[in-house]
Amino acid sequence: MKRSGDGRTMRTFVWFHRWLGIATCSIFALWFASGAVMVFHPFPVLPLSDQMAMAAAVDNREVRVSPAKGWAAGGDDGRSLRLVQRADGPVYLLDTGDATAVIDARSGDRLDVLTRGQASDVALKALGHSPADLVGLFDYDQWIAHNRFDPMRPFYRIDVGDAAGTQLYLSARTGEILQRTYARERAWNWVGAVLHWVYFTPLRKSYTAWDQSVWWLSFLAMLVAAVGIVLGITRTIAARRTGRRRFTYFRQKWMRWHHLLGLGTGFFVLTWIMSGWLSMDHGRLFSTGKASDQRLSLYAGPMHTTGLVTLDRLRAMPPARQIALSSINGTPLMTLSDASGTMSMFGPSGPAMSAADRRRLILKGLRTAWAGADIAPGHPVRSNDLYALAEGMPAAAHRFEITGEATTIYVDGDSGKILTVMDASRAAYAWLYYSVHTFSFPGLIERPMLRQGLILLLLVPGFMFSVTGAVIGFRRLQRVV
């Protein structure tokens, strides 16, 4: 009975691997090939320094509405408040999570999106010349499909008309240039990140549809790889039992190569697909690394009442391209960004705060948010800090460790923003995902060329193995049809 049951199990495995493998091996090959492209051509992003260089300076003298009134005019569900210069003057931008309320800093009125003429003026000032073309209004585009752009929609696209094929994306709501792509980047990303992340606009514009689709696709691919390893080992054992020194009994060329390459690359293929599946975890199995709304509220203090600076204090600030209004432990703060993206933090009075003063204030806020926890004084992250490097934290990131717990809180030392709560669950995720999928681990992450070479060394045989599976699947379908 046991042998009969084992036989049925193996036949089920063979059927599953054969027919699901036909559907997934081509996807495997695309993932390996596009992953290799992404090593050298990541998805385009506009750095803060370049964004600030193109932004207009805030005219503080024109501001006649206090931050508290600006917050109140935007609604009760605000999360953060910024002051920027739109084409029609200084405005408060109140982030409500799903949208951005735009408040005229001179009158306190709610404002609508920029007109086409106003968008042209922004482009002219940012570029120093008229753009070759201005496209819009539109909500979605391949390069602004990410949900982080949702509160800033709709957009205008500014075609610069230069040799690099530069395109800029201007939020018609906030008046900010938030994305930039070059023709070369776009071309490589179509065969890189877009394929690798299944990042096609019709799917990606619905975060839920994209998240569910890619999660289940990756899960299915992981099962196919796991079953393939079981079959590969079982058939190798069967071949060895014939008394000959062989690892496979397949004679057909493509089947033979698929089996042998599978034995050599199977473990890597499985772990790489599994870690890619984990990239879509988003809190399903591991913590997200985000602080809870309750802790964020305790960390900030009463933001919209006593946690905002006075109008006179705001008007006295030096020139800036953006002023972020926040609070830590109830202390009103302003973080000014200049044309280079450099940040300076100011309190309710006096000159800019020193780095030591900022760390002390951040520590006080963290101890309020994590009441009862023993949080050690923070220090800047090391140059080879795995989590900071893997998660792309800013250079000013600081670590604050909770004594007696496996938890480290990362905070931006310039803005005071909590970046990541690295508890035991998030740390386990980091090792399973970053270390296995992107080879971001100590000793390698600080050696980019060596890391890139190792990734390519493993992706090439993984791609070859996937191609053999795709060929076998195509030939089998030809016989069936």
How confident is the model over 149-154, as a mean pLDDT? 95
pLDDT above 90 as % of the chain: 59
Q: Tell me the pLDDT tens digit for each residue of 323-371.
A: 999 999 989 999 999 999 999 999 999 899 999 999 999 999 999 999 9
Do residue 94 and residue 148 come from a single domain?
A: yes
In degrees and rounded to multiples of 5, residue 250 shows phi and psi of: -75, 135
**Does the residue 441 lie in any domain?**
no
pLDDT at position 305: 56
Do residue 101 and residue 215 come from a single domain?
A: no
Do residue 403 and residue 459 come from a single domain?
A: no
Do residue 70 and residue 124 come from a single domain?
A: yes
In degrees and rounded to multiples of 5, residue 391 shows phi and psi of: -95, 5
**Does the residue 399 lie in any domain?**
yes
Count of domains forming the chain? 3
Residue 310 pLDDT greater than 80, yes or no: yes
Q: How confident is residue 133, by pLDDT bands cut at 50, 70 and 90?
A: very high
Q: How confident is residue 250, by pLDDT bands cut at 50, 70 and 90?
A: confident
Query: What is the C-alpha to C-alpha distance for residues 98 and 252, in angstroms, rounded to an integer?
Result: 57
Q: Is the pTM of this model over 0.85?
A: yes
**Does the residue 430 lie in any domain?**
no
How confident is the model over 412-423, as a mean pLDDT? 94
Residue 481 pLDDT greater than 60, yes or no: no
pLDDT at position 264: 85
**Does the residue 170 lie in any domain?**
yes
Domain that holds residue 457: 9-41+202-286+448-480
Q: Tell me the pLDDT tens digit for each residue of 162-188.
A: 999 999 999 999 999 999 999 999 999
pLDDT at position 303: 64
Q: Which residues pair with 286 in a beta bridge?
A: none
Q: Tell me the pLDDT tens digit for each residue of 185-228.
A: 999 999 999 999 999 999 999 999 999 999 999 999 999 988 88
Q: Which of 51-55, 300-304, 404-408 has the highest mean pLDDT?
A: 51-55
Do residue 154 and residue 58 come from a single domain?
A: yes
Query: What is the C-alpha to C-alpha distance for residues 369 and 400, in angstroms, rounded to an integer?
Result: 13
Query: What is the C-alpha to C-alpha distance for residues 153 and 145, in angstroms, rounded to an integer?
Result: 10
**Does the residue 133 lie in any domain?**
yes
**Does the residue 429 lie in any domain?**
no
Do residue 332 and residue 396 come from a single domain?
A: yes
Residue 141 pLDDT greater than 50, yes or no: yes
How confident is the model over 381-393, as a mean pLDDT? 82
Do residue 246 and residue 315 come from a single domain?
A: no
Residue 159 pLDDT greater than 90, yes or no: yes
Do residue 58 and residue 180 come from a single domain?
A: yes
Do residue 60 and residue 181 come from a single domain?
A: yes
The neighbour count for residue 446, using CB atoms within 10 Å, is 15
Handedness of CA 306, 396, 390, 188 (dihedral sign): positive
**10 in the Ramachandran plot: left (φ > 0), alpha (ψ -120 to 50) or beta?**
alpha
Do residue 113 and residue 85 come from a single domain?
A: yes
Do residue 356 and residue 263 come from a single domain?
A: no
pLDDT at position 248: 76
Q: Tell me the pLDDT tens digit for each residue of 23-40.
A: 788 888 999 999 999 999
Residue finishing a domain among 129, 160, 185: 185
Do residue 226 and residue 181 come from a single domain?
A: no
**Does the residue 307 lie in any domain?**
yes
